[in-house]
Structure formats: C-alpha cells, structure tokens
Amino acid sequence: MGLKNLQRFYDKKFEIIAISINPGFEFFNSNFLKKICEDIGVQYIEEQSHIKEIVFDIRKEKNPCSLCANLRRGMLNSTAIREKCNKIALGHNEDDVLETFFLNLLYGGNINTFAPTSYMDRSKITLIRPLIYAPEKSIKTFVKKNNIEVMPKCCPMDRNIKKGRHEKINMGISKRNSQC
C-alpha cells in the first residue's frame, strides 16, 4: 500500500505488480492478498510452488528456513524477470537488519547484514528494502492505528524459528558477556 501511495506523488513514474509465491502451506491465503491488490488497483500474480513438499516431505529438513527462503527467492526472481520487472521491493525492517547482523556475527564470525538496495548482476534486478530504517514496533503501531488487516502467518515453522532465533541471539550475547 505504501508504494501505491508513493506512486501518486513521486516524481519518477513507476508501475507496481504484486508477486506472491505460494509455498503450499495449509494456511496460505491467496484470496486475502488478491483482495488487497484489487482494492488498491495493483495487479496480483500468484506463483504456485511445491516448496512445502520439497522442504518437508522430500528433503525432510530439520532447519527448513534457509532452503525455503532460497526456493521462494529464486521463484520470485524468475517471476519478476518473466514480468519484465527491474526492481523487487522486500519488506525487511530495522529489526530484521539487526537480527541478521547479530546472527552473522555470532554464528558466521563476520560483520555483515543486508543493504537498503542491492543490484543482482545475473538477473539485472535491483532489490529495494523501503522499510529497512523502520523499527518493527513502529510498523505494527501504524498498522494498528490505521486498521490495516495483516495476512496471518502461514509457515508451520514460524513460531519455533522465531523463538529459537531469539534464544540463540540472547544465548550468544550472554556467552560473549560472561567471557569479558
């Protein structure tokens, strides 16, 4: 919705399409997304996938997030190329940047996170993250104040993964502090 509103007064003209990758999860609600896009006048494209089957049934991943994210990103990039898009807007916020930074620091041994924009040479698409400087709490407050309906989470691992990530980050910080 934010990009649609920006489109009205931004000096550079741009078109918007919404691309959704349906991973095949039981609670994925494409009708919810389709209705929002219809209401604001944005073309909606849903790509069906077998991600759930690949990740959970065939590969039986114990830590499925990385593979699932890579498969979804690949499909998103392919669909964007097919639709002749030159940019993909992702919804990462400030909390995502910080979480990625600390996970890389604690588990990868490097100081790294993602940038507000990045160009992908092979696909010739630029990733933009318009919400990267917005704290998740501010976004949630805005959504609540403006009665914006949010699609319920559909990933069967979401609750376990978020809890595990925060526990790992907290554990890592505690371990680092106890060594000082």
Determine the pLDDT at residue 160: 59
CATH number at residue 89: 3.40.50.620
Question: Sign of dihedral through CA atoms 103, 137, 10, 148?
Answer: positive
| Residues lower than pLDDT 50 in the chain | 162-163, 166, 169, 174-180
Alpha carbons 127 and 148: distance in angstroms, whole number: 25
Which pairs from 96-102 meet CB under 8 Å and 24+ separation? 96/132, 96/136, 97/132, 99/165, 99/169, 102/169, 102/172, 102/173
Domain boundaries, position 103? 2-179
pLDDT score recorded for residue 175: 45
Model confidence, pTM: 0.81
pLDDT confidence of residue 176: 44
Helix (H) or strand (E) holding 44: strand 43-48
Q: For position 156, what pLDDT does the model report?
A: 85
Q: Is 28 helix (H, G, I), strand (E, B) or coil?
A: coil
Q: What is the pLDDT of residue 167?
A: 52
Closest C-alpha to 115, from 105, 128, 106: 128
Q: What is the pLDDT of residue 180?
A: 39
C-alpha distances in Å from residue 54, one per residue of 49, 61, 67: 9, 9, 9
Is-contact 29 152, C-beta < 8 A?
Answer: yes
Count the residues in the chain.
180
pLDDT of residue 161: 52
The tally of domains found in the chain comes to: 1
CA–CA distance, 153 with 163 (Å, rounded to integer): 15
pLDDT one-digit tens code per residue, 121-151:
999 999 999 999 999 999 999 999 999 988 8
